[in-house]
Amino acid sequence: MLKISISETATETRWVLQGRVFGPWVSELNAIWRTSTRTRKGRACIVDLNDVTFIDKDAEELLRTMAREGAQLVANGGYIKNVFGKPKNTDRRGLSETVAAFLRFSRRSVRAMSTKQAS
């Protein structure tokens, strides 16, 4: 199950994701993201992934898309911390780039494994 909490101020929209991001929850997150991008009105979008315990392949792709479209991903705890190692205390933009790089690497690894199995 996934819990999505969204709070807004004059300068930012903050999303807090908690739980497992997979299957139908990816579609739900995507729908909310699409609606939010139309109504953000220039505010920064911060996505807190600290309480995420699992991310499937589709969720990785969506998070990659969200980062490309301007979301600043924050990931310093729980499952995400284990996945990314021990991130340095860095600014949000740097962490977004780290998360996006991990997601690119993860996708390449899955492709490489699929290619080996097909051989």
The token pair at 79 is: 């499952």
| Measured torsion, CA atoms of residues 18, 22, 27, 29, in degrees rounded to the nearest 10 | 20
pLDDT tens per residue, range 37-96:
777 778 899 999 988 988 888 998 898 899 889 899 888 866 676 654 444 444 455 556
Q: CA 107, CA 110: separation in Å to the nearest integer?
A: 5
Domain 2-118 belongs to what architecture?
2-Layer Sandwich (3.30)
| Measured torsion, CA atoms of residues 97, 20, 3, 65, in degrees rounded to the nearest 10 | 30
pLDDT tens per residue, range 81-99:
665 444 444 445 555 666 6
- State the pLDDT confidence band at 32, using cuts at 50, 70 and 90: very high
Contacts of 53 (CB under 8 A, 6+ apart): 19, 20, 78, 79
Confidence (pTM):
0.67
